[in-house]
Chain A
Amino acid sequence: MSELLEVCKITGGYQKSKPVLHDVSFTVHPGEMVGLIGLNGAGKSTTIKHILGLMEPHNGEVLLNGRTMADDKDGYRQNLAYIPETPLLYEEMTLWEHLELTAMAYGLSKSQFEERANALLKEFRMTKMAKWFPSHFSKGMRQKVMIMSAFLIKPSLYIADEPFVGLDPIGIKSFLDRMLILRSEGCGILMSTHILATAEKYCDRFLFLHQGKIILKGTLKELQEQANMPGSDLDDIYVEMTKEDRHD
């Protein structure tokens, strides 16, 4: 199977002398949802920043559709959408303008944009708020703006960092339903989350990141085997694994 995203042995961090990530390797295939799981400070966000090209690895490389960011910066970024943990919005722009700007940046046609934007607004129940400024939004609404912007551009890879924080139950459901559709259409999804029950239900494979290293990876079944905990759920394995590491 050809890989959509290939993270090859990256070591990286803000300082060369103190790398946060150590030899991290994993892949995301088309049509697959991968859960990135780890404690606070495990290196999830740093991993994501390396994939986004916001940080350069000290060693190793990140390939998206077989190409690195250095090969073709704009082409690389065209193919991925990012849903950050804290919504990053322009305070001076309305919801509609956020979507319009995103559509322009990713080269959508005007008709394409309007059609998709209206559908998204409806699905996330934000049609009424289209002309509002972010200062009137709750945390969940802000998160919805980020999610809608990502869905708008239909890239081949989605990277979501704790996407559920602050969302209402209907928002979470819309988000996940859409993710499933996208997955069936062949998109790859890398999602970091602490909500393990949801991750277990939706993700195909999991990556356990701990202190900058991948300590376990695979499907739930594979994880159970590796941890010697047949039949356990993700929560138990997670707690058990971090417990072990506390003894280290």
Chain B
Amino acid sequence: MTNVTELWQKRRADYWTMAVKYLRLIGNSGFLFTIYLLFVFGSYYYGQFLQWLPETFPAVVFFTVVFTWFITRGRVRTFMKQGDLIFLTPLEGKMSSYIRSSIIYSWIMETFWLLLSILVLAPLFFDRIDGAGSTLISVFLLLSGLKLWNLLSGFEEQRILDKNHYLVHTLLRTGLNGVAIYGLFTQQPLWVIGLISVALTVFYVGYYRRLARSYSLKWERLVDIENQTVMTFYRIANSFTDVPSLKSKVKFRRWLNPLYGLVKFERKKVYHYLFARSFMRANDYFGIFIRLTFLGALFISIVNIEWGRWFVTVLFAYMTAIQIETLKNHYDTSQMIELYPVGLDSKRAGHQFWMAVLGTIQAFIFSITAFISYGISGALVVFILAMATYLYHVQLRLKKKYETST
């Protein structure tokens, strides 16, 4: 490989082709609707929240902590692969254009995330720090510059092999960031900001550049960082759709064992037995159930318009039921299950049983949250609506699904 820049560009393109596929799937899933809903309700309650927030709230400290974390975290994305440990290491001396591309790319991506978080926090900033838009813009630009400094220094930092030594450097960087960001949000005069910038630049040239000269690249660490980034993306995508390259780990969840006791040892209950374990342990079915239940309960407790609450109840019960429905295809690749001398009817019965149990649990959780905020009558309506949604799924939708599949 003579041209490393080309290699870098090809890798970036490959990554994005893959990422766009998943992003499209995420866009098509019902979850996006939840985020939209969150946005609508969120913007309404944001204003109320700001009014409720006491005057003594330490806004400057809050901003400093949030952005110190935000600016310090994140490493340079190099798109490096396991194989590079063998095939690219001989080219280490010729990698500078590859690395430069990586740093610029990471800077652009990080600046995008920075912009998003600034936008989210803008109302708080205007309310408590400074009302002027121009101040916010200059803060944003300076933070973006600081991010670049962090990416540059952070990249040289990875050359340090010793883990503790490496950690000390990261902590040092956190401290410097903290000071600079505190200066920003307390709106220090221009000369102080200028002085900090010069000091950081000198520090980078005088110290970090020298690290680059005395230590080699730590390829394994770069590959690890890259893998972690991709994994994070996969994990996020996996909550919306099935990611094949993410072999989801089975989680034992010992504390759920008592639930298995609901299934008796008898032939008709084979699928009751199977579905229970698959739901609780495999593929994050349980995680999705918990998340949807939690989100639903959250919405029920904050939406104080009656019909809005009813809508949210049915919506979340419906979305959860759809997720539980997918258990039906869980064993499609298992041949053993076809060999069991047990009819398909009992598979349907097992699936219906667990959907009913889980639906009842969710309905109870929803109605308890409604009870806390709105009293007994509010709770009753929520309970009935959730149960009705599940009844529809268990008795009609699921039944039909099984009938059409055979």
From 125 to 147 in chain A, residues with beta carbon under 8 angstroms from any chain B beta carbon are: 133, 135
Known: A90-B274, A92-B281. A52 touches B341 (CB 8 A): no
Partner of B270, one of A54, A77, A88, A105: A105
Chain B residues whose C-beta falls within 8 Å of the C-beta of A100 in the assembled complex: 265, 273
- Quick check: is B266 within 8 A (CB to CB) of the other chain? yes
Cβ of A115 < 8 Å from any Cβ of B?
no
Contacts of B281 in A (CB 8 A): 92-93
A105-B277 in contact (CB<8A): no
B342 touches A105 (CB 8 A): yes
Contact B265 A104, beta carbon cutoff 8 Å: yes
Q: Does B336 contact A (CB under 8 A)?
A: yes
CB within 8 Å: A-B pair count: 66
- CB of B11 within 8 Å of the partner chain: no
A74 touches B265 (CB 8 A): no
Interface size on A, residues (CB 8 A): 28
Q: Does B191 contact A (CB under 8 A)?
A: no
A74-B342, A113-B265, A135-B249 known, 19 other contacts, Cβ within 8 Å: A52-B339, A74-B343, A75-B341, A76-B341, A77-B339, A84-B335, A84-B336, A91-B250, A92-B280, A103-B265, A104-B266, A104-B267, A104-B269, A104-B270, A105-B267, A106-B267, A106-B341, A107-B341, A135-B250
Task: Note all chain A residues with C-beta closer than 8 A to B266.
Answer: 104
Docked-complex contact A110 and B265, CB < 8 angstroms: yes
A54 touches B335 (CB 8 A): yes
B406 interfacial by beta-carbon distance below 8 Å: no
**Interchain CB contact (< 8 A) of A101 among B273, B280, B282, B339:** B273
In the assembled complex, B127 has its CB within 8 A of some CB on chain A: no
Residue ranges of A at the interface with B (Cβ–Cβ < 8 Å): 52, 54, 73-78, 80, 82, 84, 88, 90-93, 97, 100-101, 103-107, 110, 113, 133, 135
Which residues of B lie under 8 Å from residue A84 when comparing CB positions?
335-336
Q: Is the interface of A mostly helix, strand, loop or mixed?
A: helix
| B326 within 8 A of partner (CB) | no
Shortest C-beta distance, B351 to chain A (Å), equals 16
A90 x B273 contact (CB < 8 A): no
Q: Which residues of B contact A73 (CB under 8 A)?
A: 341, 343
Instruction: Classify chain B: how many residues form its interface, as a range.
Output: 20 to 34
Asked whether any CB of chain A lies closer than 8 Å to the CB of B252, the reply is yes
Residues of A within 8 A of B249 (CB): 135
A92 touches B335 (CB 8 A): no
> Which residues of chain B are within 8 angstroms of A90 by Cβ–Cβ distance?
274, 277-278, 334
The answer on a CB contact under 8 Å between A91 and B336 is: no
**Nearest CB of chain B from residue A208's CB, rounded to whole Å:** 26
- Are the CB atoms of A106 and B340 closer together than 8 Å? yes
Q: Do A82 and B341 have beta carbons less than 8 Å apart?
A: no
Q: In whole angstroms, what is the CA distance A82 to B252 when docked?
A: 28
Give the residues from 211 to 256 in chain B that come closer than 8 angstroms, CB to CB, to chain A: 249-250, 252
Give complex CA distance A197, B128 in Å.
Answer: 85
Write the B121-164 contact mask toward A (1 if CB under 8 angstroms, else 0). Answer: 00000000000000000000000000000000000000000000
Is there contact, CB below 8 Å, between B336 and A88? yes
* Residue interface bits B255-266, CB-to-A below 8 A is 1, else 0: 000000000011
What's the Cα separation between A132 and B342 when bound, in Å?
Answer: 26
Chain A residue, CB-CB nearest to B279 = A92
Q: Shortest CB–CB separation between residue A149 and chain B, in angstroms? A: 8
Name the residue of chain A whose CB is nearest to the CB of B268: A104
What does the 1/0 interface line of B281-312 toward A look like (CB < 8 Å)?
11000000000000000000000000000000
A88: nearest residue on chain B (CB-CB)?
B336
Task: Please name 16 pairs of A and B residues whose Cβ atoms are closer than 8 Å in the assembled complex, sorted by A.
Answer: A54-B335, A54-B338, A78-B341, A82-B336, A84-B335, A84-B336, A88-B336, A90-B334, A92-B250, A92-B281, A97-B277, A100-B265, A101-B273, A105-B267, A105-B342, A135-B249
Please indicate the chain A residues that have their CB under 8 angstroms from the CB of B338 in the complex: 54
From residue A65, how far is it (CB to closest CB) to chain B in Å? 13
Considering the chains assembled together, what is the distance between the CA atoms of A1 and B45 in angstroms?
A: 83
Q: A90-B274, A90-B278, A91-B250 are in contact. Are A105 and B341 (CB under 8 A)?
A: yes
**Which of chain A's residues has its CB closest to B251's CB?**
A92
Contact A77 B250 (CB under 8 A): no
Q: Which residue, of A54, A78, A104, has the highest number of chain B Cβ atoms within 10 A?
A: A104
Q: How far is the CA of A110 from the CA of B267 in the complex (A)?
A: 11
Q: Is B270 within 8 A of A92, CB to CB?
A: no
A83 to chain B, nearest CB (A): 11
Identity of the chain A residue whose Cβ is nearest the Cβ of B285 in the assembled complex: A92
- Residues of chain A within 8 A of B340, CB atoms compared: 77, 105-106
Which residue of B is nearest A79, CB measured? B341
